[in-house]
């Protein structure tokens, strides 16, 4: 039973670490995308440059890769530690053959593909928001709020007292 508890505690620490890293990466992603949109060419405080808006997609992709997918890969890489801990725990019950490294590698690849899918959806959503805000001539403030909310929903950092109270 002691090895069960040890493994469970290890997994809990690992999950907490993963969650903290993801939250930090989303906060950094939000900040960097906000910074990018803040640098958009403006006319009278409003977005107008469609060429910039189209090019922003590439910049947003780079930000997502650096902030989100790098974190996802770091989290996935730690699956090997979890597998070793599980093997040690299961081995305490008798002979446990183990898991082939190729199986763990395939599971890591599959897990990353899920995160990559999320990243691609976020890219489309953010790039479309920037483009739509530019087409409609949205103000820089509403454009920034729009992209922030697409990243973190109602948890987007806000100066609005009511939203902060809800969060």
Q: Between β-strands 42-43 and 46-47, what pairing exists: parallel, antiparallel or unpaired?
A: antiparallel
Identify the H or E element spanning 115: helix 101-135
**What does the mean pLDDT of the chain come to?**
90
- Dist. CA 143–CA 134, nearest whole Å: 9
pLDDT digits (tens, 9 = 90+) for 3-45: 789 999 999 999 999 999 999 999 999 999 999 999 999 999 9
- Dist. CA 24–CA 14, nearest whole Å: 15
- Under the banding of pLDDT at 50, 70 and 90, the label for residue 155 is very low
Stated pTM of the model? 0.85
pLDDT digits (tens, 9 = 90+) for 66-91: 999 999 999 999 999 998 898 888 88
Query: What is the per-residue pLDDT for 88?
Result: 86
pLDDT digits (tens, 9 = 90+) for 121-137: 999 999 999 999 999 99
- Dist. CA 61–CA 156, nearest whole Å: 20
């Amino acid at each position: 039973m002691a090895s069960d508890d040890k493994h469970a505690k290890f997994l809990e620490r690992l999950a907490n670490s993963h969650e903290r890293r993801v939250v930090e990466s989303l906060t950094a992603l939000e900040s960097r995308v906000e910074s990018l949109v803040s640098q958009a060419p403006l006319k009278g405080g409003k977005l107008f440059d469609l060429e910039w808006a189209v090019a922003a997609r590439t910049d947003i992709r780079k930000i997502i890769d650096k902030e989100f997918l790098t974190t996802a890969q770091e989290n996935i890489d730690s699956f090997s530690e979890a597998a070793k801990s599980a093997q040690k725990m299961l081995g305490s019950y008798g002979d446990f053959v183990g898991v082939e490294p190729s199986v763990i590698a395939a599971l890591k690849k599959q897990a990353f593909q899920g995160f990559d899918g999320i990243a691609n959806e976020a890219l489309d959503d953010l790039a479309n928001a920037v483009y739509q805000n530019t087409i409609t001539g949205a103000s820089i403030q509403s454009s920034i709020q729009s992209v922030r909310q697409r990243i973190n929903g109602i948890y987007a950092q806000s100066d609005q007292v009511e939203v902060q109270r809800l969060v």
